[in-house]
Amino acid sequence: MDQAGEFRESLRMVRDSAAAVVPHGDLRRIRALRFTDPGFDRATWKQICNFGWPSLALPESEGGSGLGMRGFVVLAEELGAGLVPEPLISAAMAARVLSGAPLSDLLAGTSLVIPAWQERPNSLDPAADTTLRNDRLTGRKLFVPMAGGADFFLVSAREGLALVPRDAAGVMLSLDRTQDGGTFGTITFDHAPATPLPGHLDRALEEAALATAAYLLGLSRRAFAITLAYLATRVQFGQPIARFQVLRHRAADLKIQWELMRASVQSAAVTLDLESDLPVCRAAVSRAKARAADASLFITRQAIQLHGGIGYTDEADIGLFLRKAMVHANLYGSASLHRTRYAALALEEYDA
């Protein structure tokens, strides 16, 4: 097997291994965790850490699996297909920043480190106002997913990054429930004691945005598969509705959008793995995230429509996919933010 073949084989293994937390077809665990606190399962989280998934993309020299973003997007896609709520993408951001630090227990699942970086809605700016002075952190962070389950927050400030224990004095956390059954935390730091860290979030944010696109890719894949199966079994007017040409063509359109999303996400992962120029990486990520946000909402909306009335019940699993897409489509930048960023970054490559 050549090198490319071997790499494809590793990716296949990542995909297979994801089955451990995504038992085929069973969404009962996911359903049961909705609207609970902290919205995910500690035991499953521990398992995810045992697999080393938060550092899957990191080079082996930094304690990772060396599979790069090509590996991580495969994993995120599979977790998306299973609607897995455990905060892998947040933890992988933390792993990227903490890599090399003597913080192995943080990565091993004993402690969960969740980045708290956002200060404005629909923004990718990690440190607008928060300050870190004399190891004290002051500021306000928004939309922190699954914040209720964190042991530490990895916080971005103007002066740099810092680690703050969840229970430290001066940390106030309030939670808003989200449509998918999880939460967004709003965290206020008022001179909270913080341990400064080296590094920055630039690369980690790009990886999180791309992984989110991959997560959307996965949930769209599964929503589409469920919908195709429904079309084939639901009988109206004496035949499976899959025989109606209008629904067949709509399914074809969903398939095309899904394939575009897949191609876009995968090519962005290649770019992140092979390209060191940050603007080029950002353009690729923006392209993938913009496509994933739009296509996943398109697919899940149409999945509801194609299910008819049953799609509007909470009992039907298909709705879980729409709700998940509603939350994730705008995480790490909306489609429109990413389109604008792409236009600003990407060279015109059309010399035809």
Beta-bridged to residue 140, according to DSSP, are 188
CB of 243 vs its own copies, minimal distance in Å = 10
Sorted by sequence, the CB contacts under 8 Å of residue 287 that are 6+ apart come out as 264, 268, 338, 342, 346
Classify residue 64 by its DSSP letter: S
The smaller minimum CB distance to another protein, of residues 95 and 268, is found at 268
Q: Is residue 220 part of the contact set for another protein (CB under 8 A)?
A: no
Polymer length in residues for the chain: 352
Name residues contacting another protein, limited to 180-199 (CB under 8 A): 180, 184
Binding-site size, another protein (CB under 8 A): 78
Instruction: Give the helix/strand (H/E) hosting 327.
Output: helix 318-328
Name residues contacting its own copies, limited to 240-279 (CB under 8 A): 244-246, 249
Sorted by sequence, the CB contacts under 8 Å of residue 352 that are 6+ apart come out as none
Q: Is residue 334 part of the contact set for another protein (CB under 8 A)?
A: yes
The smaller minimum CB distance to its own copies, of residues 237 and 350, is found at 237
- ∠315-252-320 over CA atoms, to 5°? 20
- ∠101-70-23 over CA atoms, to 5°? 90
The smaller minimum CB distance to its own copies, of residues 171 and 241, is found at 241
Could you tell me the sign of the dihedral formed by the alpha carbons of 48, 53, 54, 60, in that order? positive
Please identify which residue in 42, 133, 158, 249 interacts with another protein, judged by CB under 8 A.
249
The smaller minimum CB distance to its own copies, of residues 191 and 250, is found at 250
Instruction: Give the helix/strand (H/E) hosting 116.
Output: strand 113-116
CB of 326 vs another protein, minimal distance in Å = 6
CB of 42 vs another protein, minimal distance in Å = 23
CB 200 within 8 A of CB 61: no
Piece of 52-60, 84-92, 129-137, 342-350 that binds another protein (CB under 8 A): 342-350
CB 47 within 8 A of CB 20: yes
Map residues 280-299 to x or -, x wherever contact with another protein holds by CB under 8 A.
-------x--xx-x---x--
The smaller minimum CB distance to its own copies, of residues 169 and 246, is found at 246
The smaller minimum CB distance to another protein, of residues 167 and 277, is found at 277
Q: Which residues form the interface with its own copies (CB under 8 A)?
A: 244-246, 249
